[in-house]
Amino acid sequence: MKLLFFIASIGSALAIRCYQCSSQTDPKGIDNCGAYKAFNKTQNIAIECNSDESHMPGSFCMKVVHQSPRGFICKWIVYFNRCRLTVSLYKLSSLRLGDGRWRQVIRQCASVSETGVTGVCNWGVYENGVYWEECYCVEDECNGAPQTKATSIAALCFAVMLFVAKILS
């Protein structure tokens, strides 16, 4: 019985907690996910990635930002985690940056990153001019930051690799 309790407690201790929201699902004129103003950590509750509440189970957190260029007017279709997302102009027209651009933010748990690396941000521009940025991190509630930074675990791993390389050379 003690062994079963011990194993169960290890599993719950390893579960990561991430914020889960999407500005695409926010009501018109409301910014709950931090696309246009600071993300409110007291308004949003982080969920355990291995719970039933999680839209996607995972072992790390992610934050995705999409932003249009100035004067961008058309329907936007993008593939994210191999799923097709269509953003309607109705959702985007209610909130805009001061110069006419729109922004979308997705925060959620993740199990596989495109790059296979956590603790980093990758960015680029789609053919239609939409800027994208994906950040991955492995600490509880780390995807609530304005810009997800490399975690202390990644820094520690890098330091250990440098130490080992120095010893071997």
Domains along the chain with CATH numbers: 14-168 (2.10.60.10)
For all residues of the chain together, what is the average pLDDT? 73
| Vertex 136: Cα angle to 76 and 35 (nearest 5) | 45
161 contacts: CB under 8 Å, gap ≥ 6: none
Q: Tens digit of pLDDT per residue, the chain (169 long)?
A: 444 433 443 444 568 999 999 999 988 888 999 998 899 998 899 999 999 888 888 888 999 999 998 765 555 455 555 555 555 443 444 455 566 788 999 999 988 766 666 677 899 999 989 999 999 998 999 998 765 443 334 444 444 555 566 777 7
Query: In the beta sheet, which residues pair with residue 47?
Result: 18
86-94 long-range contacts (CB < 8 A, ≥24 apart) are: 87/24, 90/28, 91/24, 91/26, 91/28, 92/68, 94/28, 94/29
CA distance 112 to 57: 10
Share of residues in the chain with pLDDT > 90 (%): 30
